[in-house]
Structure 1
Amino acid sequence: MKKLLFLLTLTTTFFCFAQDNTDVYVVAIAPAYEGLQLLNLQKVSNNDGYNNQPSFPSNETILFAGNNEGQSDIAEYNLNSKTKKWFNKKTEGGEYSPQKFPTSNDVAAVRLDNDGLQRLYKYDSQTGKSTELIKDLQIAYFAFYNYEKILATVLDSDKMNLVLIDLQSKKTDTLFYNAGRSLQKVPKTNSMSYSLVNEEGNLDLYLLDMNSYENFFVTQLPIGIQDYVWINDTQILVGSGNKLYMYDTLGESEWTRVASLEDYGLKNITRMAISPNGKKLAIVTESK
């Protein structure tokens, strides 16, 4: 496996929903002698424009923010039938970062309205109608811990703060300032992960124990990288160009190359998501 040298710099705004031409792919993953084996690559976005921010409500279904006639809506794609449907009724704005509620089929997503209002909404699985979840909180990104608690990054001028939200009581607690955009629940643990901008302007990755609320430093993300995904409780993936790199918390303290998408003609990997069983990886890349 090859060690990783990153020569990129952070030049993009963390919380900007940039409308680049991007596509969402799903690939099966399996351990290999020198990293990961990628099998059965499948493109799940079939329209031009911004298709991004995937999540897996189940092993056979994927949600993502998809371009729907120039507006970002919640797309739901079935990997078995290879069919897509729009989850939400059209609103005045665009929907981003769709994620299934842990204990229902409803979906939460960030809505950015045309007037700049940005809030977190719940979308009913039966009707597609939406209701605001948290009043007066300008949420940029979020991740569920359970049906009661979410971790979110909240806009604060040109930066973001890390905020713990109780959906039942509607109470909020600002934990840290100057956070990164990627938030994850670590599989099969009581922890969530987040990133903070360090003194050099790069991103440090941390774990937050959701029982004790103690936090632990994990590693620095490679320079220029904002997005990562835990494929299990100890291994983290990031993408750079058309390559995938892994950090193993039980191994050496370095990022190593484990797979390449070069043969598929894909490039500029950004966001990723892992299926509940850990066997499928969603990848966002620049459109061909």
Structure 2
Amino acid sequence: MIPFSKVQLLFFLSVPFIVTTVSVAQNDTEIYVFDLNNDGTNYSISDPFNVTYQNPGYDNQPHFLPDGSMYYVSTRDGQTDVAQVEFQEYSWSWLTWTAGGSEYSPTPIPNSQDFSYIRLDTSGQQLLYRHDHATQEPRVLVKGLKIGYHCWFDENTLAVFVLGEPSTLQICNITDGECLPKHSNIGRSLHRIPNTSLLSFISKEHEPWQIKSYEPVAGTTHKIINVVGSSEDMCWASDGTLFMGSDSVLYKFHAAFDKDWVKVADLSEFGLSGITRLNINPDGNQIAIVVNQSPTAEK
């Protein structure tokens, strides 16, 4: 990973990232991108790069795009907006700035330049939106459901985490607006399992919580493995390896090779802890890791 130069830092600080007010609803977090190394049998990480460079507030929910750039959300002026970093050019840009609302979970839509996101308005309304690349205008994708998280199967079908007591996993067809409940009491982490037609989700029906797969056509569900501790954030590498963190330790699991979770790295070596959300780039050589903001962390 190329280090952050003074020129890049000056450019970065020229963008209005630094804010004076921070929402009390979320922890102060940072996004680091590491080189992800695989020697064929083992994984390791190296060269941490602080994408959000100690911006005060909630910097979170990274999602790599097919071109290797990355969406995420960042705090400014007391709300969260969607931003994008282009690693090749080392440039940052804001994609949304919604008065009276905050955006979360920016996700590229398959076969499109558009992206989807959750918007929480100050009125309390929370809906899933589509951001049109051509017009830069948003439109509601699913009406009447308070969606917290989502994952696309294809350009017309998505899995959603619907808030409620309990929370539910629902499959939505955006062409006809139909959403069908499939599981209840789930966690927030929803992912397509690479090179399959399966979805992974976290079931909280029993303890310990379990990572499960779901096949939407047959409606079948199978256990993959228990979560690490009480973690509920995970991601997949293209080779079928699962990654999950607990405090400062990053773990991996591959059903064909591992009987249980295997330690990959301890981020305390970099002064980092509080691992939550994770995402791996399409080439499989970078991993974005969200951690607690720390003044002692490497920059």
Q: Report the TM-score when normalising by structure 2.
A: 0.85
- Which secondary structure does the structure 1 equivalent of 2:63 belong to? strand
Judging changes above 3 Å, is the alpha-carbon distance between structure 1 residues 189 and 237 closer, same or farther for their aligned structure 2 residues? same
Q: Which residue is equivalent to 1:78?
A: 86
Aligned equivalents of 1:92, 1:105: Cα separation in 2: 26
Q: Which runs of 5+ in 2 are unaligned?
A: 1-23, 295-299
Compared CA separation, residues 34 and 189, structure 1 to 2 (3 A): closer
Which of residues 210, 230, 234 in structure 2 aligns to 1:224?
230
1:163 corresponds to 2:177? no
Aligned position for 2:218: 212
**AA at the equivalent of 1:63:** Y
Higher relative contact order (CA 8 A, sep 6+): 1
Contact preservation (8 Å) 1:109, 1:121: yes
2:102 is paired with a residue whose SS is strand
Structure-2 separation of matches of 1:128 and 1:262: 40
Q: Which residue of 2 aligns with 1:43?
A: 50
Match of 1:195 in 2: 202
| Code of the aligned partner of 2:142 | I
| Inter-partner Cα distance in structure 1 for 2:114 and 2:216 | 23
Residues 65 and 75, structure 1, Cα contact 8 Å, conserved in 2: yes
Q: CA 1:26–1:219 in structure 2 vs 1: closer, same or farther (change >3 Å)?
A: same
Query: How far, CA to CA, are the matches of 2:248 and 2:113 in structure 1?
Result: 34
How far 1:59 sits from its partner (Å)? 4.3
Partner of 1:107: 115
- Indicate the RMSD between aligned Cα atoms, in angstroms: 1.7
Regions of 4+ moved over 4 Å: none
Name the one with the larger strand percent: 1
- Aligned-partner Cα distance in 2 for 1:264–1:24: 13
Closer, same or farther: CA 204–18 of 1 in aligned 2, 3 Å: farther
> Which residue is equivalent to 1:55?
63
Q: In the TM superposition, what whole-angstrom CA distance separates every residue of 1:134-166 from its partner, at most 9, and x where no partner exists?
A: 111100111111111111110113x31000011
Q: Select 1:236's aligned residue among 229, 232, 242.
A: 242
Secondary structure of 1:64 counterpart: strand
Unpaired runs of 5+ residues, structure 1, are 1-16
Q: Deviations over 1:105-145 (max 9, x none)?
A: 11100111111111100112234321111111100111111
Q: Structure 1 length normalisation: TM-score? A: 0.89
Is the CA contact (8 Å cut-off) linking 1:110 and 1:141 kept in structure 2? Answer: yes
Q: 1:120 to 1:204 in 2, by over 3 A?
A: same
Q: Distance in 1 between matches of 2:41 and 2:245?
A: 17
The Cα offsets for residues 171-206 of structure 1, whole Å up to 9 and x where unpaired, read as 111001111110011112111101111333x32111
- Map of 1:13 onto structure 2: none
- Secondary structure at the counterpart of residue 123 of structure 2: coil
Distance 1:42 1:174 in 2: 40
Find the residue that maps to 1:263 and give its secondary structure: helix
Give the structure 2 partner of residue 256 of structure 1. Answer: 262
Percent identity between matched residues is 27
> Which range moves more in the overlay, 79-88 or 210-219?
210-219
